[in-house]
Chain A
Amino acid sequence: MKILVCISQAPDTTTKIAFTDNNTKFASQGVTYIINPHDEWYALVRALELKESGIATAVHLVTVGKADVEPVIRKALALGGDEAIRIDTDSNEPYVIAMEIAHYAESLGYDLVLCGKESIDYNNGIVGAMLAEFLELNYIGFATKLDIAGNIATVSREIDGGEETDTCKLPLVISCQKGVAEPRIPNMRGIMAARTKPLKVVAAAGIQPLSTIVNFEMPPAKSGVKMIAADNMDELVNLLHTEAKVI
């Protein structure tokens, strides 16, 4: 069984977010990138576990990005993927990403395609579903548990007030979230091994985006706390009326 894991990079969670070009672009200068945690901690680690337990024979990683994403892909290889593919184009648009991956993967016969439930930068959360559509495969989103027996996947997902368990025949696309696996820390042997693992660069199919970002806005700054003397009811009422505008 061959698994393809979709990996994207995302700004480190401590990044100070700013925009350039009239608020149309994310200011990436000086930003540290990490593997999107949902891809790394859940999709990739589960794929590695399936390989370690003898269920999967190969784990390939795919990312859409320019050469600057390679450190992140090397880290993923250090965690344990067998080989990586970088589709050489820069896009944050889910349609482009899903189409490019589908274009690359359609004839390669992957039995299982895993991705994170969303990337933590743009939070679209739809690449997995789109990819399944373009590959004409079944899709289960937001998995919290994933087991494979023979050619049947058993997948749990959270639903309102409980848990749903589905079974589905492979091949299949699954987006993963917390619960599917436990985060792993790479080790020095893995880091050394990653040096010589193949990282193939393939030309993009040149898919055009369906949507464009008009502009970004920062959420309003948190307003400070105003302290009012306990006995000054008039001031409190006044402020709730004129400033907070709630009464």
Chain B
Amino acid sequence: MEKDLYQHPDYYLVDELLTEEHKLIRDTVRAYVKKDISPIIEDYAQKAAFPKQIIKGLGEVGCFGPFVPEQYGGPGLDYISYGIMMQELERGDSGVRSTASVQGSLVMFPIYKYGSEEQKHKYLPKLATGELMGCFGLTEPNHGSNPAGMLSNFKDAGDHVILNGSKMWISNAPFADIAVVWAKDEAGEICGMVLERGMEGFTTPETHGKWSLRASATGELVFDNVKVPKENIFTKVKGLKGPLSCLSSARFGIAWGALGAAMDCYDTALRYAKQRVQFGRPIAGFQLTQKKLAEMITDITKSQLLNWRLGVLRNEDRATPAQISMAKRNSCEIALRISREARQILGGMGITGEFSIMRHMMNLESVVTYEGTHDIHLLITGMDVTGINAFGG
């Protein structure tokens, strides 16, 4: 792969809206990505393997659950810091960002928010360093966009419960040490619980043959009469709002992350267009190339401002789930469009692993799908502005 020369675009001086600490966090994660991710990621994506060795570094830098307070082993940073970190990680690769998103927003967040003191002390410090890795099981084979219909369920058996069912498309599942699983109790209410690898009847077969997020491991969670101790069940939340609050945290990170992938594509395409000469001049000098680049930077700039504002609202605990949906949907949409246009600018080179663009483009097909598909987020915005539910069911 080409040397990683990435510099972020900042057409509207959005950096001035960030604190010195935010910028230091960004430089830190960027330096980490340039040192440990960029040199290896193409190779791992090509061979469809998760680079397990990066877990230690991600933990050391502090990319797992940066919003978790110090008493539980996190650094206790704000949500803009979290967004910036996800932006820089996904600038490198959406799969790496996914690993960090799942660990932070989908595993550490619910344990921090809904777990008992014992659960928090038992899991959070080790999850922050990467000594323990987690996954999040919500989606099922027959219930994706409609998780409320899930079939996974558990029955009371004294000091423990018996869990049955299965989950599909679960990031980190093949190597996770623990799983935050959502299943229905006997009254049909959704509850969350922590499963540990090794529990009898709990298996995590890997999903092979993906053309997207190839450097991230995806798998199933299968529960065959798994005995789960009652102390592993979250007592502070019941119903769909449990998993949905986790998704809000993760979607917030994705809004920033997908923008990072878009920025990388733009940065690569701009540099290439200025260097590549056809018909006696750099291709950046052709109007059709300029149209692509001008539209890309316009989309990126708008999204930077949207995300920054969302970050401020989230820091003040005022960001609504629907606002987060809008930003997640917007970033995925512009990132996909920018990656496709950027790939065109690179011509044949655009389809090779020499550059990151095609990898980003394929990754983004997952990013636009998971954590609520493009259309589901549209329906969320639609419902929010009209007050009418158009999901059906």
Contacts and interface: CB of A to CB of B under 8 A. Distances in A.
Judge: A and B partners, yes or no: yes
Contacts, number: 45
B76 interface: yes
Contact of A188 (B25, B27, B31): B25
Contact of A186 (B24, B66, B77): B24
Interface residues of B, number: 21
B24 A75 contact: yes
A191 B35 contact: no
Contact of A191 (B7, B24, B31, B63): B24
B77 A185 contact: no
Interface string A184-195: 011111011001
B24 A71 contact: yes
B21 A195 contact: yes
Interface in B3-42: 7, 20-21, 23-25, 27-28, 31-32, 35
A191 B60 contact: no
B20 A192 contact: no
A191 B66 CA distance: 12
A192 B77 CA distance: 8
Contacts of A46: none
A interface bracket (residues with beta carbon within 8 Å of B): 10 to 19
A78 interface: yes
A187 B28 contact: yes
Contacts of A192: 70, 75-77
Interface in B70-103: 70, 75-77, 81
Contacts of B7: 14
B54 interface: no
B24 A74 contact: yes
Contacts of A191: 21, 24-25, 28, 62, 75, 77
Contacts of A188: 25, 28, 61-63, 66, 75, 77, 81
Interface in A169-212: 185-189, 191-192, 195
B172 to A, nearest CB: 21
A107 B132 CA distance: 49
A189 B68 CA distance: 11
A70 B19 CA distance: 13
A81 to B, nearest CB: 14
B283 to A, nearest CB: 19
Contacts of A70: 20
A16 to B, nearest CB: 12
A53 to B, nearest CB: 19
B18 to A, nearest CB: 12
A187 to B, nearest CB: 5
Given A14-B7, A195-B21, A189 B75 contact: yes
Interface of A: 14, 70-71, 74-75, 78, 185-189, 191-192, 195
Given A74-B24, A75-B24, A188-B66, 17 more contacts: A14-B7, A75-B27, A185-B28, A185-B31, A186-B24, A187-B60, A187-B61, A187-B62, A188-B63, A188-B75, A189-B62, A189-B75, A191-B24, A191-B25, A191-B62, A191-B75, A191-B77
